[in-house]
Structure 1
Amino acid sequence: MNLASIHFYPIKSTTGHDVPEIEVQPWGLAGDRRYLVTGEQGELVTAREEPRLLACVARLDDAGTLTLTGPHAAPLRVVPTTERSLIKVGRTPVELTDCGDDAARWLSALLGRQVRLMWLDDPTRRPVNPEYARPDDRVSLADGYPLLLTSSASLARLNDWIAEGAVERGEEVPAPLSMRRFRPNVVIDGVGTPFAEDAWRRVRIGSVEFRVTKGCDRCVLTTVDPDTHTKGKEPIRTLSKYRRWEGKVWFGVNLIPDGPGRIAQGDSVTIL
């Protein structure tokens, strides 16, 4: 097995980037999900309810400066303030730094509602769910865990199921879903059996070892086309048929790194 691709997302729920190699930090991939968008009451805003967030492309330069680009306005260089607020991320209130009025206006114009951009300046602030983690484990602003792993074999099987379902219903067979729907950090090729990753407990990618904490339960964001930003029924409809238990549907597994390191496309992947 080998590491087929690497992806990171500077702002939660915005367009991701494919990179040939990247640093693994204790709380996730370098630069991954250190920013998020909030509403007028300080609530988390994601592409689940605001699919147009996917039209935002956020880029980090070598100095860590964030620049926003989108279809509605000129690019904007983000300059964080010193003002901090407690924002509830998942179940945990986390102290985040406000990124200023210019970033707020830029994103508000994109979404057509008042929002602000917030930054996790200190990634050691947010603990991982203790039910699946050690006391010193930390995570950035991802939904719950530092990394998400998926496999090409599992996506291929899912697309087969979707095609079979369309035929059974007398519908046109849709184009295969892209892995972009699932917003993984690492995608593995060469897995012999679809969904074999469900049973993994530890994995080494290159020289970096990870704990596999739990499967990833999927939400409505997977039904949003990352290019058109329109919603459909797949893959939730098909996952509900084949991959539903505990009242949720599942695709991919969550990882916690056991230490820092660097991973690159083509790295060997070993189940430990």
Structure 2
Amino acid sequence: MWGSLQKTALGATDAGAAQPVNGDEDERLVPGTGPTEVPFEIGEVHVTKIYVHPIKSCRGTSVKEVRYDPEGLENDRKWCIIDAQKRTILTARGFANMVLITPQLEPDPSSAYGGQLVVSFPEGSECESFAVPIEPTPDMLRSWELVEDAVMHGVYHVDGYVCQSLSAPYNTPSTVLSTFLGRDVHLMIKGPTPRTVPPALDYPDLQDTAKLQDGYPLLVASDESLVAFRHVVKDVAQQGEAAGVRGFDQKRWSEGTVEMERFRPNIVFGGAGVPFAEDYWRRIVINSPEQTDSEQAELKITLISKCARCLLPNVDTVTGIRDAAVPYKLLMTFRTGKDPRDFSKPCFGVNGIIDGHGVVRVGDVVTVKEWAGPEGV
């Protein structure tokens, strides 16, 4: 994958994008060749945060290190909640309180099923926690209901198994989740059938696969981009009604802040010193000073498209309440026109594809091996 991706097209140059230092605005870069000069200088970049979201649209977990493979971070979006009748995969876009469901991985290498995923609920919900196996054994799967036709976003068809609890009553996951969400649902673990990722503008023939992520195996973002957005929020809060942002809660955002978890990235970078620098990285490698001989020498990532955002990040990860304006409406003021597939949607973060297997850790060093053209990825 690392050396085989070939570029087929690039959209028009974004007038607001950073330009190459050589001033050649008409230059188009072909992935695999690399630019002769970088478009702007950046500082030393490191991995500052890693997030794993075991159950799609539910609360994520910050970890210090995690294994990865071409389908993403280990156990990331491996489970989902499906409508019991329609077999559609539910997300926090439609059920905001899903973000209050807390999955916690408890690995156990000595266990036949790799440990357990403990799922808990907010105090006052009257929903008891339950545990399911991280790696169900073949015997377990033979007794679980097979789902062959689950549908994600009305586009992707995926298979899976309806999870049973590690202790009786074994239908606890379905019962408890149905009570919490107020409709008949099941907890489903992704099945063995590969799900091919959607084509990207520059890479229309992608054959990579993913688990239950919206599109691609990996989503990255940077601390600098979040800081820049927080400044926008504070500026609007200071202007109040004069800013003209309908639904903006001036009191709340004068005092509060937007956390990175709303954007649900997997890997967060820091140190570049330039907001949204990641928009212009085509290929990066991540090296760990703690690497062992059995691990891959470096994590190789191809960044293939900016992440066009929906309204899901408007959901407060603490309260489960959807904000009327933040972050979506504020991102609309300065982050539209970035995605050639849909210039109307605001972007935050970049989608990526992984080459190989290994371990990534907080503190690992990030090196940009190839930059994209003036319009970014």
TM range (shorter): over 0.9
Question: Counterpart in 2 of 1:99?
Answer: 163
Secondary structure in structure 2 of the residue aligned to 1:163: helix
Give per-residue Cα distances to partners, 1:37-94, cap 9 Å, x unaligned.
1123111211111111112111233214322111332221236614222112242211
One-letter amino acid matched to 2:62: D
Q: Is 1:128 matched up with 2:225?
A: no
One-letter amino acid matched to 1:249: P
Q: What is the aligned-residue identity percentage?
A: 33
Secondary structure in structure 1 of the residue aligned to 2:227: helix
Question: What is the rounded CA distance, in whole Å, between the counterparts of 1:205 and 1:250 in structure 2?
Answer: 24
Q: Is 1:116 matched up with 2:167?
A: no
One-letter amino acid matched to 1:78: V
Q: 1:196 aligns with which of 272, 277, 289?
A: 277
Q: Higher strand proportion, which one?
A: 1
Question: Counterpart in 2 of 1:57?
Answer: 102
Matches within 5 A, 1:63-74: 63-71=114-122, 72-74=126-128
Question: What is the rounded CA distance, in whole Å, between the counterparts of 1:86 and 1:33 in structure 2?
Answer: 18
Which stretch shows the higher mean deviation, 234-243 or 135-144? 135-144
Q: Compute the TM-score of the two structures, normalised by the length of structure 1.
A: 0.94
One-letter amino acid matched to 1:190: G
Structure 1: which 5+ runs fail to align?
Answer: none
One-letter amino acid matched to 2:266: N
Q: Tell me how far 1:135 sits from its aligned partner.
A: 4.4
Q: Is 1:236 matched up with 2:306?
A: no
Question: What is the rounded CA distance, in whole Å, between the counterparts of 1:179 and 1:203 in structure 2?
Answer: 21
Secondary structure in structure 1 of the residue aligned to 2:332: helix
Q: 2:65 aligns with which of 4, 21, 37?
A: 21
Q: Is 1:210 matched up with 2:301?
A: yes
| Aligned partners of 1:161 and 1:238 also within 8 Å | yes
Larger CA Rg, structure 1 vs 2: 2
**Superposition RMSD in Å:** 1.6
Secondary structure in structure 2 of the residue aligned to 1:22: strand
Question: What is the rounded CA distance, in whole Å, between the counterparts of 1:161 and 1:54 in structure 2?
Answer: 25
Secondary structure in structure 2 of the residue aligned to 1:252: strand
Structure 2: which 5+ runs fail to align?
Answer: 1-44, 108-113, 134-140, 165-170, 242-249, 288-297, 338-342, 370-377
One-letter amino acid matched to 2:128: A
| 4+ aligned runs moved over 4 Å, structure 1 | none
| Aligned partners of 2:300 and 2:356 also within 8 Å | yes
Q: 1:147 aligns with which of 214, 218, 232?
A: 218
Question: What is the rounded CA distance, in whole Å, between the counterparts of 2:285 and 2:212 in structure 1?
Answer: 24
Question: Counterpart in 1 of 2:53?
Answer: 9
Secondary structure in structure 2 of the residue aligned to 1:144: coil
Secondary structure in structure 2 of the residue aligned to 1:87: strand
Give per-residue Cα distances to partners, 1:107-130, cap 9 Å, x unaligned.
0111111111111132x6111113
Q: 1:260 aligns with which of 357, 361, 367?
A: 357
Question: Counterpart in 1 of 2:318?
Answer: 227
Q: Is 1:159 matched up with 2:256?
A: no
Secondary structure in structure 2 of the residue aligned to 1:155: helix
Question: What is the rounded CA distance, in whole Å, between the counterparts of 2:217 and 2:205 in structure 1?
Answer: 13
| Aligned partners of 1:8 and 1:32 also within 8 Å | yes
Question: What is the rounded CA distance, in whole Å, between the counterparts of 1:59 and 1:228 in structure 2?
Answer: 19
Question: Counterpart in 2 of 1:76?
Answer: 130
Secondary structure in structure 2 of the residue aligned to 1:160: helix
Secondary structure in structure 2 of the residue aligned to 1:68: strand
Q: 1:217 to 1:64 in 2, by over 3 A?
A: farther
Question: Counterpart in 2 of 1:87?
Answer: 150
